[in-house]
Amino acid sequence: MRLLILGGTEFVGRAVTEAALARDWRVTVFHRGHHEAPAGVTTLRGDRTAPGGLAALSDGAGTWDAVVDTWSAAPSAVLSSARLLADRVGRYAYVSSRSVYASPAPAGLTEDGPLVEGASAAAGRTAYPQDKRGGELAAEAVFGDRALLVRAGLILGPGENIGRLPWWLGRIARGGPVLAPGPRDNPLQYIDARDLAEWTLDAVRDGLGGPFNLVSPAGHASMGELLDACLRVTGSDAELRWTDPGTILAAGIEPWTDLPVWIPPGEMHDTMHGSDVSKALATGLRCRPVAETVADTWSWLGSIGGRAPQRPDRPQVGLAPELEATVLSPQGDS
């Protein structure tokens, strides 16, 4: 297979690149040059947001069986790329998001669920849900049923540049009492970037099109299993102090941002961690155990000096130590 990756040097794009290289596919990576591409690829440079920024992808650049696009800003950039490549690429895989569904999304929502309003394929950058939906519309407008829409949920794993799992690993590695947000059996849905990559490559190879929810099945992991895995791999003497959601929320702690990954049971939890993934499972989705994702992320962090990269367009996550101490102090005094 001849694969073109728009991006390909960070997190999800890099996972796709490395997975394709491991299959001995011929991989071309188009990127801005801010990070080194993996060895073994053909590199094309350009900035999709600049005038003439797609020149390196012009007619003489080549033809490909598929393109994988991880763009998450202005949908118009997806539309321009798709139009330019329409006659030289077999299939267009756009890594989208479950944020394209109208919120709140009920538990068990399938790919046929209602979508956000206000999205346009030709729009400039607006809000993340509309940008991702606009990217989908752009891919479909040009490629029709040759467009694959990969609606990923929470993405974890080595290379993460948002900081969610790296924050938990770093916090637990520091030791001491750790505010563990309950309930312990609160179910999580996420996708390891490497599992996303493998499924996406299988899908373009097999000629799949249309939307697919891509996260782990319901019950694949819980908050307790995630944090227990962090405790094991770090070898920390940290003490997980499981705290009920009411106490956490009353302290002004924000789910998802102050305590990454965690959302208390309720409407928003159903939206983020209640997706129906039967369609992806039926087409071969395989999700590795949470312990493997955690261990490999910890190993990767060690290999880069312990500090995870941070995307400049995303806010830093994590709970302030003083706020954590305030919430835990009554428990420690009792």
Identify whether residues 12 and 148 lie together within a single domain. Answer: yes
Pairing of strands 221-222, 177-181: unpaired
Domain boundary among 128, 152, 176: 152
Contacts of 49 (CB under 8 A, 6+ apart): 73, 74, 77
**Is 73:32 a contact under the CB 8 Å cutoff?**
no
In whole angstroms, what is the distance from residue 52 CA to residue 137 CA?
A: 23
Token duo for residue 163: 């900081």
Domain that holds residue 57: 2-152
Q: Mean pLDDT of all residues in the chain? A: 96
Token duo for residue 151: 């609606």
Strand partners for 243: 181
Q: State the average pLDDT over residues 119-142.
A: 97
Identify whether residues 88 and 174 lie together within a single domain. Answer: no
**Is 168:308 a contact under the CB 8 Å cutoff?**
no
Q: Which phi and psi angles does 155 have, rounded to 5°?
A: -110, 125
C-alpha closest to that of 155 among 145, 165, 146: 165
How far from chain centre, in Å, is Cα 52?
Answer: 29
Q: Is 62 exposed, middle or buried (0-12, 13-18, 19+ CB in 10 A)?
A: middle
The verdict on residue 244 lying in a domain is yes
- pLDDT for residue 179: 98
In whole angstroms, what is the distance from residue 327 CA to residue 258 CA?
A: 13
The verdict on residue 280 lying in a domain is no
Identify whether residues 172 and 100 lie together within a single domain. Answer: no
Q: State the average pLDDT over residues 203-214.
A: 98
Determine how many CB atoms are found less than 10 A away from the CB of residue 50: 10
Torsion of CA 119, 121, 123, 126, to 10 degrees: 40
Q: What percent of the chain has pLDDT over 90?
A: 92
Tens of pLDDT, residues 48-104: 999 999 999 998 889 999 999 999 999 999 999 999 999 999 999 999 999 999 999
- pLDDT for residue 44: 97
- Here the CATH number for the domain that contains residue 172 is 3.90.25
Token duo for residue 140: 């479909």
In whole angstroms, what is the distance from residue 215 CA to residue 232 CA?
A: 24
Identify whether residues 11 and 39 lie together within a single domain. Answer: yes
**Whole-structure pTM value:** 0.96
- pLDDT for residue 192: 98
The verdict on residue 249 lying in a domain is yes
**Is 301:157 a contact under the CB 8 Å cutoff?**
no
Tens of pLDDT, residues 168-204: 999 999 999 999 999 999 999 999 999 999 999 999 9
Identify whether residues 166 and 141 lie together within a single domain. Answer: no
Q: State the average pLDDT over residues 16-22.
A: 98
- pLDDT band (50, 70, 90) for residue 309: confident
Determine how many CB atoms are found less than 10 A away from the CB of residue 41: 21
Q: State the average pLDDT over residues 32-40.
A: 92
- pLDDT for residue 332: 43
Q: Dihedral of CA 115/121/126/127: which sign?
A: positive
